[in-house]
Amino acid sequence: MTVQDAPAPTAATGVPAARRARGQVETYDFRRPLTLVREHARHLEMAFERFARQFGNQLTARLRVMSNLTFDQVALHTYDEYVNRLPSPTAMVLCTLESSRQTAVVQLPVGATMVWIDYLFGGNGRGDEREGRELTEIELTLVRDLLQHSLGDLEYAFAGLTRLVVSVQGVQYNPQFVQAAAASETVLVASFTLRVGEREDAVTLMLPADTMLAALNAVDGASAQSDDERLAAALAHADLEHAVEGVPVRVGVQFAPRTVQPRDVLSLQVGDVLTLSHPSSTPLDVVVDGVVLAQAAIGSHGSRLACRVVTVEENPA
């Protein structure tokens, strides 16, 4: 019997031949997929291309020099992967999404912002490339104002998907120290090439993936479902809500906590009295799974202790 060599793997498999030859396996987490659905990717590409055109027009008008922002690609990454790929130092402009209060990030070289400032003051765009250079308060104010106007076009670009309004907050320079999201959280990263005059820079825009994907799913669902499918989904949602309402949960009432020293706890003996800081006239907290759902006054119901709910206001404990 003759043993023939296996045919060389082709590129269509999507896995490098050398990796398969070494028997390496790449883990894929189906709960946190890092691959965009083709239709979602197309929607995002069109939105980012619209934003790039408007952004370039805004810079051209404000800086009075030909500016162009070109969309390159959009992908899903974990936040840790995103920041590890960024140069340091770099300008990470932190923004807040008004709809969800989550954080978005515009990242670009500090030298690019210095060129903007030079043009704003009537210069020739030489900028300042000194290593470790950070923006002064005046420079930061100018950059924030310029970006706030330019990022306003996100609302127009994403109008068909979701209301995307951002407000510029501040700038950080070391990506490793910026906690804009949890390290394992999935984020959406759009990459661009920015040309201002003769200068060319790489720019990224990071958005929270859960917000954007939820908007894309809603758009797909609204356009793809028939009346019967929407009715079936509504009935399934009602059944789920009814089932959840029947799940037993433990409800407790608690006094306001008191802070003591470890030595006080270790010295406790039978018969000791531990005074509480909870005023006798203040209602107790009604707590479910660590969440304060209401406040109640203590009392009795027949021969049993009871409490009467006096306010209903959910607060994290």
Tell me what the mean pLDDT of segment 157-184 comes to.
90
Classify the phi-psi angles of 197: left when phi > 0, otherwise alpha if psi is within -120 to 50, otherwise beta. left
Q: What is the chain's length? A: 317
Q: Which residues pair with 107 in a beta bridge?
A: 92, 204
Q: Is the pLDDT of residue 3 over 50?
A: no
Greater confidence (213 vs 13) lies with: 213
- For residue 226, what pLDDT is reported? 66
Greater confidence (317 vs 254) lies with: 254
pLDDT band, very low/low/confident/very high, at 1 (cuts 50, 70, 90): very low
Q: Give the separation between CA 157 and CA 180, rounded to whole angstroms.
A: 23
- For residue 237, what pLDDT is reported? 87
- Percent of the chain whose pLDDT exceeds 70: 86
pTM over cut 0.75: no
Give the list of residues 6+ apart from residue 199 with CB closer than 8 angstroms, or none. Answer: 112, 115, 125, 127
Rounded to the nearest integer, the mean pLDDT of the chain is 84
The 3-state secondary structure of the chain, one letter per residue: CCCCCCCCCCHHHCCCHHHHHCCCCCCCCCCCCCCCCHHHHHHHHHHHHHHHHHHHHHHHHHHCCCEEEEEEEEEEEEHHHHHHCCCCCCEEEEEEECCCCCEEEEEECHHHHHHHHHHHCCCCCCCCCCCCCCCCHHHHHHHHHHHHHHHCHHHHHCCCCCCCCEEEEEEECCHHHCCCCCCCCEEEEEEEEEEECCEEEEEEEEEEHHHHHHHHHHHHHHHHCCHHHHHHHHHHHHHHHHHHHCCCCCEEEECCCCCCCHHHHHCCCCCCCCCCCCCCCCCEEEEECCEEEEEEEEEEECCEEEEEEEEEEEEEC
Q: Is the pLDDT of residue 315 over 90?
A: no
Contact (CB, 8 A) for 196 and 112:
yes
pLDDT band, very low/low/confident/very high, at 75 (cuts 50, 70, 90): very high
Lowest mean pLDDT: which of 37-41, 131-135, 225-229, 305-309? 225-229
Q: Give the separation between CA 47 and CA 194, rounded to whole angstroms.
A: 17
**CATH label, 38-219, candidates 3.40.50.720, 3.50.40.10, 3.40.1550.10, 3.90.660.10:** 3.40.1550.10
Sheet of 103-108: strand order equals: 67-78, 186-196, 199-208, 103-108, 91-97, 166-172
- Domain limits, the chain: 38-219, 251-256+279-317
Q: Is the pLDDT of residue 291 over 90?
A: no
Q: Is the pLDDT of residue 30 over 60?
A: no
Distance of alpha carbon 95 from the chain centroid: 10
Q: Is the pLDDT of residue 2 over 50?
A: no
Task: With both helix axes pointing from N to C terminus, report the angle between 38-63 and 110-120 in degrees, rounded to the nearest 10.
Answer: 40
- For residue 172, what pLDDT is reported? 93
Q: Give the separation between CA 41 and CA 101, rounded to whole angstroms.
A: 24
